[in-house]
Amino acid sequence: MEPGKTTTLRLLLGLAKPTVGSEYVFGRRYGDIEHPGRLVGAVLESDDFHPGRSGRDHLRVLAVTSDIELGRVEEMLHVVGLSDAASRPVKTYSLGMRQRLGLAGALLGQPDLLVLDEPANGLDPAGVRWLRTVLRSFAGGGGTVLVSSHVLAEVAQTVEQVVIIDQGRLVADAPLNKIADQGRTLEDAYLALTTEVAS
């Protein structure tokens, strides 16, 4: 299996099986972690919801199945700005609202690690700024955020460490300031690194 960014995250979370090698989260396979939602919060797709269920009920189901206090549901709805829409069916939510609901579910168990695939997809500029603030706050509180994205200009404003995978191969794993140095943007660095690998 030649992983791209989404496939790599699926492998990490035990949603796909590698043909070679092993995947570990905090030294354990994800499937072996008791109550994984308390250690890892993940959003890989923005449509992983029952369309007829309200946003509040979606989070309540997650809380019950992960043995998380139901009081966290209202707290997370407030954090992601969905309190007013919480009683509406998820099928009425915009893409940006579904992204926010996914993030609320990921944060529900107060995890140490957030794994997010294209979290800014569907967010307007104000939403992107809000997301950046939430992720920085989470990291500032001691959490780790693993973000997969092809929007490199946004990534460069958010991350400290960059991993670049091209054609299933790791081509870079370094602090942002080492990869995008000497006036280069992250996009410039990415294109240079992936072109070198291809040639």
For residue 54, the model assigns a pLDDT of 97
Is 90 among the domain residues?
yes
For 63-77, what is the mean pLDDT? 93
Instruction: Identify the bridge partners of residue 181 per DSSP, sorted by sequence position.
Output: none
- For the residues of 94-156, what is the DSSP string, one character each? -HHHHHHHHHHHHHTT--SEEEEESTTTT--HHHHHHHHHHHHHHHHTT-EEEEE-S-HHHHH
Mean pLDDT, to the nearest integer, of 66-77?
A: 94
Does 11 map to a domain?
Answer: no
Write the DSSP symbol of residue 44.
-
Asked if pLDDT for residue 56 goes beyond 70, the answer is yes
In a domain, 23, yes or no: no
Percent of the chain residues past pLDDT 70, beyond the cut: 95
Please count the structural domains in the chain: 1
98, part of any domain: yes
Contacts of 140 (CB under 8 A, 6+ apart): none
Q: Which pLDDT value is given to residue 79?
A: 93
What is the per-residue pLDDT for 81? Answer: 94
Percent of the chain scored above 90 by pLDDT? 39
pLDDT surpassing 60 at residue 61: yes
**What digits encode the pLDDT tens for the residues 30-49?**
888 888 888 999 988 767 78
Give the model's pLDDT for residue 165. Answer: 81
Residue 197 belongs to a domain = no
Classify residue 105: in a domain, yes or no. Answer: yes
What pLDDT shows up at residue 2? 45
**Distance of alpha carbon 34 from the chain centroid:** 20
What integer best gives the mean pLDDT of the chain?
87
Q: 90-148: per-residue pLDDT in tens? A: 999 998 899 999 999 999 999 999 999 988 888 888 888 999 999 999 999 999 999 98
Q: Is residue 55 part of a domain?
A: yes
The predicted structure's pLDDT at residue 1:
38
Averaged pLDDT for residues 3-32: 83
Read off the pLDDT of each residue in 160-185 and give the average, rounded to a whole number.
84
Residue 166 lies in a domain: no
Residue 103 domain boundaries: 46-110
Q: Tokens at residue 97, please?
A: 């609202």
Is the pLDDT reported for residue 173 higher than 80? yes
d(CA 55, CA 76): 11
Pairwise pLDDT comparison (63 vs 20), residue with the higher score: 63
pLDDT over 70 at 198, yes or no: no
